[in-house]
Amino acid sequence: MQLTRKTEYAVRTLLELVSRPWGELVQTCEIAETKDIPEPFLNKTIRDLARAGFVETRRGKMGGVRLIKPGDSFTMADVVETIEGPLAINPCLRDSYSCINKSSCSVRQFLMESQARFVEHLNSKTFAELIGQDCEK
Amino acid sequence: MQLTRKTEYAVRTLLELVSRPWGELVQTCEIAETKDIPEPFLNKTIRDLARAGFVETRRGKMGGVRLIKPGDSFTMADVVETIEGPLAINPCLRDSYSCINKSSCSVRQFLMESQARFVEHLNSKTFAELIGQDCEK
DNA sequence: TTAATTAAGATTAATAAGGTCTTTTTTATC
DNA sequence: GATAAAAAAGACCTTATTAATCTTAATTAA
């Protein structure tokens, strides 16, 4: 019952990018260093963020990564779902889960609401709003 | 980011016991069968519930398990914490986690609140209240 | 005494998470 | 062009966690 480290790394990366001037290109090795993330793993994480439209990358000499989604246009929930896929705090909340009682089960309904409260809060602040101090290391 | 199957099994077991007359002793093989839980795994789960004071077991012929905590005195959050230990949706929310910024980190603070909303909802209904229809299989 | 039942915990199997490595492609610069 | 620096892609490996099984012991009713 925990977010993955990959999500944590994605969050750190986006915090770093949001805190920089818009449009700035940053080398991944620099992010890896300052945010204490294993570089090859960070590369994969950044690829996920790129595919999802948060950042764009530039290869070759002087390459790097830059934000293309404004920091006030996405939330923690967006990042979590980008990295981990649709949230389901219990197997029975997955679309693919089959159970005779699925639709009528009061426990499932209850867990669905619990999850909704959680996601609701994750959506209550944009990344731009989150940045006051940020969490390194 | 998901509750474990063991928690799911504990929940099913408690739902079964809460729905029965107070004091009734039920054989674990019966619960395993009706709730579709691998029996040896259920035994371990029941041991956890016994150690935490939810149920009491009785060995030998005519043995079984019975509820000793009234269904209106515990919630989903209690069961989750019993089976999985203290909830922490992100590593930085664990007591043991060390980070220079731990106390001042706004992201950590935010996640802590998100978790609190979740737990608050898990605590909003007792097991007795949850039982209207229950979720088998 | 016997058979039925749970306790305890060692062991194994399956899955997922976390991380590394190698090769390829792209790009700026000489 | 040639070269070096950077990210892309994905195969691969390692470790941790989860899930399940199995064996032996203890307990209890009959």
Residue A65 Cβ under 7 A from any strand D atom: yes
Report pLDDT for B66.
98
* Token pair listed for A6: 């990959």
Report pLDDT for A127.
97
A15·B107 Cβ contact <8 A? yes
Residue B117 Cβ under 7 A from any strand D atom: no
Q: Minimal Cα–Cα distance from A59 to chain B, Å? A: 31
Q: Go through the domains of chain A in sequence order and give each one's CATH number.
A: 5-130 (1.10.10.10)
Average confidence (pLDDT) over A84-103: 90
* Token pair listed for B86: 């203290």
Do the beta carbons of residue A83 and residue A7 sit within 8 Å?
Answer: yes
Q: Is A108 helix (H, G, I), strand (E, B) or coil?
A: helix
Q: Which residues does chain A have within 8 Å of residue B3's beta carbon, measured at their own beta carbons?
A: 1, 89-90
Q: Which residues does chain B have within 8 Å of residue A85's beta carbon, measured at their own beta carbons?
A: none
Do the beta carbons of residue B49 and residue B10 sit within 8 Å?
Answer: yes
Protein residue closest via CA to C1' of D20: B41
Mutation target to probe the A interface, by most A beta carbons within 10 A, among B110, B113, B119, B127 is: B110
For A118, which residue in chain B has the nearest alpha carbon?
B118
Average confidence (pLDDT) over B118-122: 98
Shortest CA distance to B115 belongs to which of B93, B98, B95? B93
A49 CA to D9 C1' distance (Å) = 15
Q: Which residues does chain A have within 8 Å of residue B125's beta carbon, measured at their own beta carbons?
A: 110
How many Å is the Cα radius of gyration of chain B? 17
A137·B99 Cβ contact <8 A? yes
Report pLDDT for A55.
98
Tell how strand A55-58 and strand A64-67 pair up.
Answer: antiparallel
Least confident of A65-69, A106-110, A133-137, B108-112: A133-137
On the question of pLDDT at B29 being above 90, the answer is yes
Count of residues for chain A? 137
Do the beta carbons of residue B42 and residue B13 sit within 8 Å?
Answer: yes
Alpha-carbon separation of residue B119 from A26, B39, B125 (angstroms)? 38, 30, 11
On the question of pLDDT at B135 being above 60, the answer is no
Tens of pLDDT, residue by residue over A22-57, are 999 999 999 999 999 999 999 999 999 999 999 999
Tens of pLDDT, residue by residue over A111-120, are 999 999 999 9
On the question of pLDDT at A124 being above 50, the answer is yes
Tell how strand B55-58 and strand A55-58 pair up.
Answer: unpaired
Give residue B132's pLDDT band: very low, low, confident or very high (50, 70, 90).
low
Q: Give me the sign of the Cα torsion angle B54, B89, A125, B102.
A: positive
Q: Minimal Cα–Cα distance from B100 to chain A, Å? A: 8
Give residue A132's pLDDT band: very low, low, confident or very high (50, 70, 90).
low
Average confidence (pLDDT) over A2-6: 97
Name B71's Cβ contacts closer than 8 Å, sequence gap at least 6.
B14, B18, B126, B127, B128, B131
Tens of pLDDT, residue by residue over B43-55, are 999 999 999 999 9
Quickly list H helices, A20-125: 28-35, 39-51, 76-84, 106-122
Residue B117 Cβ under 7 A from any strand C atom: no
Of A91, A100, A114, nearest to B122 by CB-CB distance is A114
> Across chain A, what does the average pLDDT equal?
93
On the question of pLDDT at A134 being above 50, the answer is no
Element at A5 (helix H, strand E): helix A5-18
Report pLDDT for B121.
98
Report pLDDT for A57.
98
Residue B57 Cβ under 7 A from any strand C atom: yes
Name B114's Cβ contacts closer than 8 Å, sequence gap at least 6.
A76, A118, A121, A122, B89
On the question of pLDDT at A129 being above 80, the answer is yes
On the question of pLDDT at B136 being above 80, the answer is no
